[in-house]
Structure 1
Amino acid sequence: MYITYDDLLSLPQMKKAKVVSGEKGLDKFIEWSHVVELPDAFNWINSGELIFTTGIGLENHEKDLLRIVEELYKKSAAGLVLVMGPYIKEIPNSVKVLSNKCAIPILEIPYEIRAIDITYSMSRILFDNYIKDKSMNDLMRELIYQEFNEEFYERAVYYGYNPQSKYVASTIQVDNLLDDLLSNKSIVESKNLDIGAAILNIVRCISNKYKKSIFYILQGTNLIYFLPISNEDQWDIEINKINSEIKDTVCKKLNGLTVSIGIGEPCNDLKYFKRSVGEAQKALKILKACERSNDLRSYKELGIYRIFFRARDNEELMSIYNGVLKDLIEYDKKNNSDLVHTLDIFLAEDCNIGKTAEELFIHRNTLKYRITRIQEILSCDFENVNECFTLRLAYKIKKFIGYVEPNLL
């Protein structure tokens, strides 16, 4: 449930309202509103809330207002509305400076306007948007998980779908959520475990900043969303930029919580949304298979992994893996050695002895001995480009199978 600042400022009661500072925060979404008069009560505000005050409870206006803005920033609140009149005659410049620095919008309204009238109108919009969001969530679920129906076009246009635009699916997944919750108590306390909603709010704010109207479906802490693209030739740069900002903002706003993002290919029709989602999910799977976190990957960048996903028989992939590395795997088992891992790092470092030794924390001579032994066991030559390609392919298969069907390894 949310409203935008455009929604707020379009209310009849806000005709005389004025944004005095913190304009960079006007892309935030407002999730609720409160009238607060006692300074200590600001400690109890929540993320996304817009606060109204007449200043009747303030003792030292400048000092108290500075503390209020700091508290709003810490809690990721939406902003502050000051009722100008007998209690607040002017806003100190220092408060405006802090508001600008924190991107916390400060609005002023005349004393004769009743805050309760504004909050009532806001509540009605919030409720309407809640119903609209729920309906859109239902539409997206049907689009992604059911057979396509022509009636979807009409429903999608109601929610802002532009048939002339191309859209790209992205899917966000929290990295190691359970470990983060157990080790970082502040995540639990600050968000009350409603992490999915907090991530959705960040995605909304940033997409709004870039003037992008999104479609989304939230499933627990996992979020799938579609962004329209502006430039077909450089869509990947545009989408990567937005998603990088989303990823970094989640980490910053949610106490170090990290997410990974998979990105699909553009689709020029609503009926292909499902395909773009599938591509985004595959890109995310490869991130996990490569043990990458706090990162993003597009389907376009998957390279050889795209062929793996199209392979109908994973056992056939495993036969390639075993056919290439079987002797080395068996040698490690018999001798309690780790040559399979050594070769993996050696190939990842482009067969560079120095970098590989540094990565493995071993002496160069030790590594040279291992490499010689590996060549003997596998009867291979690392100066042969084709043989190196085959070995790299085997390791990519291992990573792929290890994530999509680990019981085969």
Structure 2
Amino acid sequence: MGIRMDEVMRQPFLEEATVVAGNDLLEKTLVEWVSVMEVPVENFIRKHEFVLSTGLGCADSSKALEEFVKDVIHSGASALTIATGKHVVEIPQSVVKLANEQGFILIEIPWKIRFSDIIQEIVQLLNDEKENERHNAEQVRQQLTDCVLNGGTLEDIISRLHEHIEMPVAISDQKQKIRANCDFDTGVIDTINGFTEGTIEKVTPPDLPFSEHPLYYHLDQYDVNNQRCYELTIYSNAKKQGYLLFMPDHPTDLTWYTMNLLEHGLTACALYFLTENAVELTEIRLKDNFVLSLAKEKQDLDAKWLSKGELLGYDLSLPYVCIVGQIRSKDNDFLPKESERDQSMQSSLHSLNYYVQKEITHASQNLNRQTMSTFDHGEIIIFLEIDHHPHQETVNHFLDMIDRRLHDQLAHTDIAWGIALHQEGFQVFNESYQEARTALDIHIEQHGFGERTFFEDTRVNRILLTMSNDTKIVDMMKETIGPLIEYDQKRETDLVHTFMTYQKYKGNVSQTSRALNLHRQSLLYRLRNIENLTKLSLIDADDSFLLELSVRLWLMHKIK
């Protein structure tokens, strides 16, 4: 903001003025205000003021006038105009010499020119200039906004901004990767990011010639390899989206007007990122809803569905295996459903989904396989492209990559997986999901978290699930192990697990006690307790089979 001194000197009210020093400085000196000042100066003059004086108090001493001029120069004023004829008859040569040596504009006007006329005209010029700058800035703001709303790119935004601020400018994303650039030295950014060696210093607070504009207080300044650049952070939706970088030739180029333009550029960039994020989020939601419908709704995959999948980048004609995962926090067991979660837990789940999705993408790219994936309240649903047979090797390789990388990033979580390829093969997404979910439920109930279960390996359990639909068999199961379950619940013991571990090691007491980390006598005590509660003998093959069958049915009944 301001007008040049040569413009001031061309005005009619200064026709009789004489520039006695600094005539070559008129074109590059700005005036931002006008004031009248006499001795003493002290701190009453601010930078870029056009100062008027009668020389009152210096009439009898050229030395006093010289000291007065020196104080005006040191205040940062743009120029000093002295009215001669009364207090100062003529400006001494010593004062003219001082002004020339200091590179300062010194003007002489006749006594008859009224200061009020000068002040009025300069204030009018300043107001006109301010209104012109406001109008121009508004036009730039409209151009930048229209650029975004009409589908312009970041390159379009930066080109328009560069045209008006006339300095190198660039836009980077939140990871400081350059998205758009106009004449900005990318080597400076590489040095800031640590990609290349060089000297770098972050100057705090920034070394700026002005402080009035609000945006000055949000600037970061970097001195890089003897070059100076500035950075503003781009925010939208209260999130850091990227950075606006610019490199003026000199800090004085960052005028109020330039800062206004940069502020409009910052707003346009924020709007662009907001629009970009909205488009991305819309696409993600469309894909999530599409995959969720494939998995959880029985669909007739007609040409309409195939076409919709193609629009979203999915080829439904390929063979897919369904993989269902369940995330568990080691501190919170299962991640609760959305209705039971507070805001902190919801944010945590979103973060987990982000990491898992990133690893799904990484693994699919490495295997050169298409994937369709979504998340539903802590449940991960993946359809992975496979060859017809065998598919287990491909799935294991895919999940190995995900589990290995997630283990490093999410040390406090476990994931269990259920996998199914429906026997009919193609386009049976809902059936594959149901089978994968069943395999997952069986796995979690029997083995807890970690590892994975293929549906085709759960034939015994599926037979038990079918048997659990018979009420007479269920009643027999409850009668057999009811006392055992009741005892575990009341005493907070785990005799059921003890028995199943005993069966796993085919009745070998030593191996069972080691697996359960129990003393041999403690294990024998538990086994006798099981026999007493169930009235069955563990050394009798029929009794042992009946008890194991009942336990397995009970577990299957819990899954249902």
TM-score strictly above 0.5? yes
Give yes or no for contact 1:314–1:401 (8 Å, CA) kept in 2. no
Compared CA separation, residues 318 and 212, structure 1 to 2 (3 A): same
CA displacement 1:196-234 (0-9 Å, x = unmatched):
23311221121121111112222243221100112x332
Q: Which has the higher contact order (CA 8 A, sep 6+)?
A: 1
Compared CA separation, residues 34 and 306, structure 1 to 2 (3 A): farther
Unaligned runs of at least 5 residues, structure 1: 1-12, 14-32, 37-44, 66-85, 88-119, 182-186, 405-409
1:265 aligned to which of 417, 421, 427: 421
> Following the alignment from structure 2 to structure 1, what is the Cα–Cα distance between the partners of residues 372 and 452?
20
Matches within 5 A, 1:56-67: 56=188, 58=191
Compared CA separation, residues 192 and 55, structure 1 to 2 (3 A): farther
Compared CA separation, residues 250 and 388, structure 1 to 2 (3 A): same
Partner of 1:196: 353
> Following the alignment from structure 1 to structure 2, what is the Cα–Cα distance between the partners of residues 255 and 218?
20
Partner of 1:156: 309
Compared CA separation, residues 311 and 208, structure 1 to 2 (3 A): farther
SS in 1 for 2:177: strand
Higher helix share: 1
Higher strand share: 2
Measured after TM superposition, the shift of residue 128 of structure 1 is: 6.0
> Following the alignment from structure 1 to structure 2, what is the Cα–Cα distance between the partners of residues 354 and 295?
26
Partner of 1:35: 172
Partner of 1:364: 520
Partner of 2:326: 173
Give yes or no for contact 2:328–2:415 (8 Å, CA) kept in 1. yes
Give yes or no for contact 1:250–1:258 (8 Å, CA) kept in 2. no
Give yes or no for contact 2:373–2:383 (8 Å, CA) kept in 1. yes
Unaligned runs of at least 5 residues, structure 2: 1-154, 156-169, 179-184, 200-223, 226-270, 336-343
> Following the alignment from structure 2 to structure 1, what is the Cα–Cα distance between the partners of residues 364 and 552?
34
Identity value in percent = 18
Give yes or no for contact 2:329–2:412 (8 Å, CA) kept in 1. no
Give yes or no for contact 2:468–2:553 (8 Å, CA) kept in 1. no
1:296 aligned to which of 444, 447, 452: 452
1:216 aligned to which of 369, 373, 388: 373
> Following the alignment from structure 1 to structure 2, what is the Cα–Cα distance between the partners of residues 177 and 338?
20
> Following the alignment from structure 2 to structure 1, what is the Cα–Cα distance between the partners of residues 455 and 475?
25
> Following the alignment from structure 1 to structure 2, what is the Cα–Cα distance between the partners of residues 322 and 201?
46
Residue-pair matches, total: 308
Query: Is 1:54 aligned to 2:191, yes or no?
Result: no
Compared CA separation, residues 387 and 238, structure 1 to 2 (3 A): farther
Compared CA separation, residues 398 and 64, structure 1 to 2 (3 A): farther
Query: Is 1:345 aligned to 2:501, yes or no?
Result: yes
Measured after TM superposition, the shift of residue 316 of structure 1 is: 4.8
The two structures, once aligned, show a CA RMSD in angstroms of 4.5
SS in 2 for 1:380: coil
Partner of 1:234: 390
> Following the alignment from structure 2 to structure 1, what is the Cα–Cα distance between the partners of residues 494 and 380?
39
Give yes or no for contact 1:175–1:294 (8 Å, CA) kept in 2. no
Give yes or no for contact 1:165–1:268 (8 Å, CA) kept in 2. no
> Following the alignment from structure 1 to structure 2, what is the Cα–Cα distance between the partners of residues 220 and 332?
31
CA displacement 1:42-88 (0-9 Å, x = unmatched):
xxx5xxx57239241637865689xxxxxxxxxxxxxxxxxxxx97x
Measured after TM superposition, the shift of residue 236 of structure 1 is: 1.2
Alignment TM-score, normalising by the size of structure 2? 0.46
Partner of 1:378: 535
1:138 aligned to which of 289, 296, 299: 289
Compared CA separation, residues 240 and 358, structure 1 to 2 (3 A): same
Compared CA separation, residues 188 and 370, structure 1 to 2 (3 A): closer
Measured after TM superposition, the shift of residue 174 of structure 1 is: 1.1
Give yes or no for contact 1:196–1:220 (8 Å, CA) kept in 2. no
Alignment TM-score, normalising by the size of structure 1? 0.60
Partner of 1:26: none
Measured after TM superposition, the shift of residue 283 of structure 1 is: 1.6
CA displacement 1:257-296 (0-9 Å, x = unmatched):
32222212245322x1001111111122123212511332
Compared CA separation, residues 251 and 152, structure 1 to 2 (3 A): same
SS in 2 for 1:174: strand
1:282 aligned to which of 438, 457, 460: 438
Measured after TM superposition, the shift of residue 169 of structure 1 is: 0.9
Give yes or no for contact 2:325–2:418 (8 Å, CA) kept in 1. yes
Compared CA separation, residues 335 and 137, structure 1 to 2 (3 A): closer
Give the greater-gyration-radius structure (CA). 2
Q: Which letter does structure 1 place at the counterpart of 2:288?
A: N
Compared CA separation, residues 346 and 137, structure 1 to 2 (3 A): same
Greater CA drift, 317-326 or 255-264: 317-326
CA displacement 1:148-193 (0-9 Å, x = unmatched):
2422122224445446532111122211377289xxxxx9899685
